[in-house]
Structure 1
Amino acid sequence: MVKIIDYRTRSNDQGKEFNVLIVQGGVEPIKSRTTGKVYFSTRTASVPSTFDEDTCKQLIGTSFEGKVAKVPCEPYDYTFKETGETVELLFRYEYVNEELDMTEKHLIPEDEVL
């Protein structure tokens, strides 16, 4: 399950604004590489939407099926706000709904003849 915890307004390459919903997955245990101790965290991701600002506000707190997964991507630099340290990352977090993915895999294209 994921929960909508916030929204943000962003701009595309043409300067057109749109809203993204910020979704958060469930709590998961993670083991620190530095100390070896376990701590709890959650993953968050932003998902583009067609909703206006009022609708986005109303959706905060809504839960639905899916998860936030770690997905490989092209390398990019990320700067931690707290420390100013910059690191290169090879992944991003993305909303995934396995049921929706499974349904799409079983659809027959309209132009395919049976």
Structure 2
Amino acid sequence: MGEQRNTLLGVGVRSGLEAEYQARAGVVYVRDPDDEERAAVRVSMARWSRFLASVKADQFVPQQEGDEVTIAIGDLSHTGVVQRLSFVTTSRHAWEIFVKAVKSSEFDHLGAQ
């Protein structure tokens, strides 16, 4: 996975991790686009803001096993008809790139529109 950046209206992508703000629902959807079997995790704006702050402060520690990193951030998995996962699984490399992007405020614009 080479380092990529694609920032569109409400979307942040950084080498495998994607976050998209849905204004109508007021939530952020987070996923690893390389994992086609898993749907996006729904995160409230309050939880997203706390998550970004904890990553920036080096206080968020994901579960890691080998090269697999599990990020438990979803707080809207039991709303609506469709049950959603509350975690995103990605690679250690994608997580490290995501952390660098968060610390440089690459995802701060989500929800600010």
**TM tier, smaller:** under 0.3
Taking structure 1 as the reference length, what is the TM-score of the superposition? 0.22
Taking structure 2 as the reference length, what is the TM-score of the superposition? 0.22
Q: Name the larger-Rg structure.
A: 1
Q: Which has the larger share of helix?
A: 2
Q: Which has the larger share of strand?
A: 1
